[in-house]
Amino acid sequence: MTSPLLVEVRGNVQIMTLNRPEARNAATLEMSEAMVAALDALDANPALSVGIITGAGGSFCAGMDLKGFLQGKRPSVPGRGFCGVTMRPPRKPLIAAVEGYALAGGFEVVLACDLIVAARNAQFGLPEVKRGLAATAGGLMRLPKRLPYHVAMECILTGDMLGAERAAQLGLVNRLTEVGGALDAALQLAAAVAANGPLSLIASKQVANESAEWRRDEMWERQAVITTPVFESQDAREGAAAFAEKRKPVWKGL
């Protein structure tokens, strides 16, 4: 049988392709479990700096497999969430490369990523309300923080789709490409990210994601706990030396 998730490494970037094109890459439990393994490998491998999630066959992900849902199967892994990513994304930066539909859980996978690249034909949406369900894989919590409140609520309460160009205008999408170009543009963005210090990337993502919940009287101390090891690392000295010597740094990483 064809694997529901294809994993490929290009340099220091790991590409994870949702691979059920006949079902617009609707997520299954098998796909979710494979994603958990892939993301754990991404975090554990010191040679990797960035991950990309994309979809096969011109679509990103149409959400969960409804036929499986009717049979009592849900594509969620305990502690990791829908498609193995929405509850606990990896420590390393994650980019969504979106072509076609990113709907329901598929959109929630996108929202779990740190950066979004989308082709002009991409359509985002949380249509759960149209089916008597709710977007419980992070969409209801993340979308109002990524879009103006009233725009987010229209998406949530109508279940209607948001096109890529409008999403880019609203700041949800980092880079907009022609159809078929999302993965290449995501690889270019990944290269710009992966050129930086691996420890710096992990710490910076952690502070950015966690600091919104910190109290004012504790935030500097909590930031220091995360970032002090970065300043004390070999990479910090290497970055300074490379700058002074006008050369590219050679990172030690994890």
What are the tens digits of pLDDT across the range 2-25? 899 999 999 999 999 999 999 999
What are 175-228's pLDDT values in tens digits?
999 999 999 999 999 999 999 999 999 999 999 999 999 999 999 999 999 999
pTM of the model: 0.95
Active-site residue flag, 178: no
Cα–Cα distances in angstroms (integers) from residue 236 to residues 104, 196, 223, 227, in the given order? 41, 11, 17, 11
| Beta strands at 101-103 and 123-125: parallel, antiparallel or unpaired | parallel
pLDDT tens-place string over residues 99-111: 999 999 999 999 9
Across the chain, mean pLDDT equals 95
238 is catalytic: no
The dihedrals phi and psi of 229, each to the nearest 5 degrees, come to -60, -30
Rounded to 5°, the CA angle 151-154-158 comes to: 160
Instruction: Report how far residue 32's alpha carbon sits from residue 138's, in angstroms, rounded to the nearest whole number.
Output: 16
From the candidates 22, 108, 154, 218, give the one annotated as an active-site residue.
108
pLDDT at 69 over 90: no
Residue 18's nearest CA partner among 50, 48, 70, 63 is 63
Residue pLDDT, tens place only, 129-157: 998 999 999 999 999 999 999 999 999 99
Band of pLDDT at residue 242, cut at 50, 70 and 90: very high
- Largest Cα separation within the chain, whole Å, is 62
Q: Which two tokens stand for residue 61?
A: 């992900």
Catalytic residue among 30, 128, 178, 213: 128
Q: Which of 168, 53, 189 is nearest to 110 (CA)?
A: 53
Residue 93 tokens, joined: 């930066």
